[in-house]
Structure 1
Amino acid sequence: MYDLPTQWHLRRIDSLQPSDCIYGLGYDSSQLTCGFYVTNFDKVWMEELDREDLSKRARELGIDGLTDEKLRLILDTLVKGIPNKVNFKQNSELVHAQVDLDFAWKFQLQGQPPETVIQFLSKLNFQQFSNISYLRYEIGQLKHVLEAKESYSRFLELNFKQAHGESLIKQYKKNNKEVIHLITNFNKQKWENEIKEEYLKSRQQDAKAANKLNLENAIACNFPARESQLPSSNKSLAKRAPTSTPISPSKRSRTNSLSLKESPKRKKIGQL
């Protein structure tokens, strides 16, 4: 298995279950090899091409004069087109991925056995761990840069006030109210808490949008009407069942009023 791509993209592929997948295309510019991978974290589909395979597929598309530099250009173009210009179709154990550029490059991704799936997910987990470690280091360095810039900006603000007064500073804050909270003193803990809250909100919005889409798709589905069938014994009972005649509201009210009052016949007998 080649080295995995460094960039992964999320896509819902309805023909696969589970349908939430990530996919990526990676290549080695020195060896001129590439691999296209799709996984839903349950199964893995992939195709790996060496230099000979790449050259053969390019010639099938009418691309001639395949120098190493031209092959690198093709691979780089494919990687850039992967996020927005790839379409997926499934046929049995194959997942067909077509990248629509000036040419239509097709990948035929083969479903992998459990041993390869384990190897792939192991490499993917290690890659993500390395990415998280790097991001933490990068965020730490960014915080250090922000603290240095904040210290310098406070120094400049103090000297500006001494030289020109506070009127221009107040005017700037008045004209930039929407970002004024971002130029106050940087507080690490406050910033981290705000980021967590914003991230949770964005995830909730994504979940609501996904649920809404699922609901709309469910409503759009047309299900054939099916008549409920009674057993033969129940049918005969239904035929023999007496039907009741509905009583109009006016007759019902007269009936109720007579039941509440003494009937004329009973009153006459009482008078005798």
Structure 2
Amino acid sequence: MNNNILTLVKTTNPDAASLKPVDKALFGQVHLVGAGPGDAELITVKAMRLLQEADAIVYDRLANPELLEYARERCDLIYVGKKKDQHSLPQEQICELLAVLARCGKNVVRLKGGDNFIFGRGGEEVDHLNKQGVECSVVPGITAAIGCAAATQIPLTHRDHAHAVTFITGHRQNGQMYINWDLALQKDSTVVFYMGLSNLDEITSQLLQRGCPADKPFAVVAQGTSNNQQVVLGTISDIAERLKSMPLPSPALLMMGDVIKANGYAQQLADQTMASYPAVAQA
């Protein structure tokens, strides 16, 4: 077993020094639980029950901290959050941590913002646990695209505007973005980019170079579904410039498609966001 992981477990849990790996029949279980997009009330009933029953909760940066209030008094709360270029623990060690806790007989909840299987590394964690002989289950959560669509009333599909929806990661891996640009340019569809805020300039530039109409509606939703939600609307040709005067915090979701103009509610939210930037509102 990874000594760094065992050290982390001992540091986090005062009683961990007395824990010893047990017979496989006494292994605990790991539940991968989607924490939803931000609003703590959007978690499922099953997820809430598992949090209440957990011996250990391994949670990330985007899980609403209010959800930890469901934990019982002696539950171990272990933070493994990640930001750009700032990882509290490498993914490989997170996977091993889950396995170590289960081998010590713990009932573990892996609490992940959004849904574990939508750009959440859930597949890697399940694969590792299966190889370690640890029983696991997956409880779906509302992914950011669904949550932000509901919160802004931007329908991802619409009979008159979009017959398909595509989720794409805008995050770089090994310095490169692996985006299927042809897929992103499909007609009559909505495209949602996860983790793409820092690469917005390149994403919009590449789409324009490949023939995307300059007036294609574009939205950026920051901290969606939370009390701090902010919305900026524009087109693919001007959205990056708009954000220079209204810098938004992460996490933020990028949405592109004619559905953005399906109703006026998103524009109301964008007007409220603009009003919070006095220099922009007065321009």
Query: Which interval holds the TM-score relative to the shorter structure?
Result: under 0.3
* Structure (1 or 2) with the larger CA radius of gyration: 1
With normalisation by structure 1, the TM-score equals 0.22
Q: Which has the higher contact order (CA 8 A, sep 6+)?
A: 2
With normalisation by structure 2, the TM-score equals 0.21
